[in-house]
Structure 1
């Protein structure tokens, strides 16, 4: 594997994890949302990744986001007949976002992002040291 492929692999992972972090942020921002005017409450979203070969017959592979899917988990319903968004039975439909799961997902994505930045910094340092040896 070429040293330059390391930047391609880590770069693709950083880009994918950045999109994952944005999705988690959107989920957390809507964790307490109730059904909107259309009657539908916010559904949590998850990022789906796919392995991508990095070309030239190399054994290296990167990652890309192929889809962002909505969670199939049921929305939380709460009995609150005084709420302005309550339905005819007196229930308010809330989003299906689990804040604890989203925080764990955010920590995982953040660590993956940080690790790939560290890989790129280490590769850069190694390349600079190699160039200095030739002087």
Structure 2
């Protein structure tokens, strides 16, 4: 593990969590959007994370075999939630079909729980980044 790997891993987590928070904010902002440019109501989005793969070579194979830490996390995709839309009876709406309006599949309670989880994960990555920075600074000062 290199001198700045800890900061690199934490910064990848910060970037991924920031994307997660942006997607959550977009979902909450569109919780009542019944008409999108693609047609139909807004469909909630979810973030899919994946580990950042190690570089090839013998040292990375040895690292994987020993169960050592990976290289961080990345956003693999932002996918649409396949859950069905909610139907609300509102015959006065211009989007109503037989009196029912298809509403977005955004569950505000779930989004708020995800937002708290993403915020806490972001804070944890900031703490880990600062700890790695302090350790790196102290290790550099040992050589003086």
- Give the TM-score normalised by structure 1: 0.89
**2:16 aligned residue:** 16
Decide whether the 8 Å contact of 1:9 with 1:54 is kept in 2: no
| Deviation digits for residues 66-100 of structure 1 (CA, Å, limit 9, x no counterpart) | 1111111111111111122212x111111000000
SS of corresponding position for 2:49? strand
Inter-CA distance 101–130: structure 2 relative to 1 (3 Å threshold): same
Matched pairs, number: 134
Q: CA RMSD in A?
A: 1.8
Q: Does 1:27 align with 2:36?
A: no
> What's the offset of the Cα at 1:54?
3.9
Which runs of 5 or more residues in structure 2 are unaligned? none
Which runs of 5 or more residues in structure 1 are unaligned? none
**2:104 aligned residue:** 95
> What's the offset of the Cα at 1:131?
3.5
- Give the TM-score normalised by structure 2: 0.84
Decide whether the 8 Å contact of 1:41 with 1:94 is kept in 2: yes
SS of corresponding position for 2:106? coil
